[in-house]
Amino acid sequence: MATTLTRASARRSTVVLKYTMAVSGLIMLGYLLVHMYGNLKFFEGKEFFDSYLEGLEDIFYPYLPHGGALWILRVVLLASLVAHVYCAVTLWRRNKVAAGFTGGKRYHSKQNRTGIQRSYASFTMRWGGVILLLFIIGHLAQMLPNWLAPGGASDSKYERVVNGFEIWWVVLLYTIGLVAVGFHLWHGFWSALTTLGQNRSSTRKDSAITIASWVLSVVIAGGFLIVPFAVFFFGAGS
């Protein structure tokens, strides 16, 4: 009985939730880096872009069945996403109670009316996360064969990319989503490594992780935006 209660308490622990959120976020960050690199294969042409994922289906074959590695990856990413969102919502609710929200308003002291969070990224973390979640859903729907095909359906992933990014509002929505990704990574990467004990600086400004989070957010957001901008502004793929 005591062991059961201890495990239940551990699952509800704020520390466990923060660790889970940090680890799940880093898993998804790793996927973003690989996915961004894969997107840049667009510039190698239609045939290569449409076929470069086919080799992934045979990773670890015959130790895993055909496509087994991809399904493991999908399950891990989905579990990471669900865990990340669950932890974020739970911690937000706890922070809201701890910060003294009553009647939709937050208690502020005269000395610190804006709270302890200083960066724009940290202030927009929650709403940025919502935008990011919607962006992920829309992006997946666009990449799956003809689920969402603005500009025209096609069996070719390359042609679906070109058809979609020739439309100004698709590029605009994609850009908004990537800006949200950048801000989320800016604060999220720093927060994750700090939670895992890798930040030993006394202030955020002096932390090397801060610079790394800036560079990482710019590289990933910019890397994803190269393809839509190349298609829309320079006619790539036409």
Length of the chain: 238
User: pLDDT class for 29, splitting at 50, 70, 90?
Assistant: very high
Q: Say if CB 117 and CB 95 are below 8 A apart.
A: no
pLDDT reading at 66 higher than 60: yes
pLDDT at 117: 44
Q: Say if CB 110 and CB 176 are below 8 A apart.
A: no
pLDDT reading at 125 higher than 80: no
Task: Report in angstroms the alpha-carbon separations of 66 from 34, 48, 60, 79, 197.
Answer: 21, 21, 9, 22, 39
The reply to whether the predicted model has a pTM over 0.75 is yes
Least confidently predicted of 58-67, 149-158, 168-177? 58-67
Q: Across all residues in the chain, what is the average pLDDT? A: 80
Q: Say if CB 16 and CB 10 are below 8 A apart.
A: yes
pLDDT reading at 9 higher than 70: no
